Homo-oligomer: A and B are copies of this chain.
């Protein structure tokens, strides 16, 4: 199984390093980038791996089985389509495409060609999210009431996607994974401070059929970096602080329950404040697990965690979120 990576900018080198070091039955064969300086870096790092300036060199090569797409989002759909048409297995950076229509077309093609199509939602492979998934599935938290994420920092202003597609896509993939459910309704506030009107701050409210609620705040314009998700459940609550170097997840046995309601207007709340638990988190590099999941899907036909149907649901939610932006 031979792999070509398209794009050696920000994320490409991480993918290259992981595929290069994987011991599974696969081999990194080719790195493609239109920028000769980046290719020079790739060549220096991996002298035995071929490099090319032209994407077609990867797509048309009969030697290449898997195409990994680490290009700007606007290129995801056209390049993935070409690769699928040639019968290649495709791993594409998140978000999968720029529209639901594009995503559905790619999926149809992958089914028709019987190849793997997978999206790199790396977050789902982190020890933290895997631990939270385990806690939710264990039922010890009770019913999920809300999910609240703040993902803000002084970030790079993208030119071909807004902060929702760039950052909220992480939270939306996590929500799909944890809830196994898509939102019924979305309400979005989004602000742009630049003349090209690409939004750099956004607040998403997601409503679910089962009374669950999620809120996502993303921003490229915060002086401080915050990466904090709170998951409020009827029995326990989770705090996931991704800035913390080691103690990322806290499970609070602290909460409240509604004791009784005297009449329409009064409510008696029974507060519990109890011990806090910090579970140990597996430190395996998430990207390594994602790469293995892809190789496993290709070699053993195993459905990956971050498969195309999860990828499609994320695009659906992103599209709805964007349409719901309150104009002012």
Contact of B230 with A223 in the complex, beta carbons under 8 Å: yes
Instruction: Identify which of residues 247-262 in chain A touch chain B, using a CB-to-CB cut-off of 8 Å.
Output: 247, 250, 252, 254-256, 258, 261
CB-based nearest B residue for A215: B203
Does A79 make an interface contact (CB < 8 A)? no
Report, as a range, how many residues of chain A touch the other chain.
35 or more
- The contact sample of 27 A-B pairs, CB cut-off 8 A, is A47-B47, A146-B191, A146-B221, A148-B217, A150-B150, A154-B271, A156-B269, A187-B189, A187-B326, A194-B258, A195-B258, A195-B261, A196-B261, A196-B264, A196-B267, A203-B203, A203-B215, A215-B217, A222-B230, A223-B230, A223-B239, A224-B239, A225-B246, A250-B278, A275-B280, A276-B277, A277-B277
Does A279 make an interface contact (CB < 8 A)? yes
Known interface pairs A154-B254, A159-B265, A196-B267; 8 further A-B residue pairs with C-beta atoms within 8 A, sorted by A's residue number:
A187-B326, A194-B258, A222-B232, A223-B230, A223-B237, A247-B276, A250-B278, A277-B277
Residues of chain B within 8 A of A213, CB atoms compared: 191, 201
Residues of chain B within 8 A of A207, CB atoms compared: 328
Residues of chain B within 8 A of A278, CB atoms compared: 250, 275-278
Does A205 make an interface contact (CB < 8 A)? yes
Residues of chain B within 8 A of A215, CB atoms compared: 189, 203, 217
In the bound assembly, the distance between CA atoms of A247 and B156 in angstroms comes to 20
For A278-299 the 0/1 string (1 means CB < 8 A from B) is 1110000000000000000000
In the bound assembly, the distance between CA atoms of A219 and B328 in angstroms comes to 26
In the bound assembly, the distance between CA atoms of A265 and B273 in angstroms comes to 49
In the bound assembly, the distance between CA atoms of A146 and B222 in angstroms comes to 10
**How often does this chain occur in the complex, in copies?**
4
For A198-232 the 0/1 string (1 means CB < 8 A from B) is 10010101010000010101010111110000101
Does A274 make an interface contact (CB < 8 A)? yes
Does A25 make an interface contact (CB < 8 A)? no
Identify the interface centre among A154, A156, A255, A273: most chain B CB within 10 Å of its CB.
Answer: A154
In the bound assembly, the distance between CA atoms of A201 and B232 in angstroms comes to 11
Identify the interface centre among A47, A160, A267: most chain B CB within 10 Å of its CB.
Answer: A267
Does A113 make an interface contact (CB < 8 A)? no
Residues of chain B within 8 A of A258, CB atoms compared: 193-195
Residues of chain B within 8 A of A191, CB atoms compared: 146, 213
Contact of A266 with B223 in the complex, beta carbons under 8 Å: no
CB-based nearest B residue for A41: B21
- In whole Å, how far is A30's beta carbon from the nearest beta carbon of chain B? 16
Q: State the 9 A-B residue pairs at the shortest beta-carbon distance, nearest first.
A: A276-B278, A223-B252, A223-B237, A189-B205, A157-B269, A47-B48, A207-B328, A159-B266, A194-B267
- In whole Å, how far is A29's beta carbon from the nearest beta carbon of chain B? 14
Residues of chain B within 8 A of A254, CB atoms compared: 154, 223
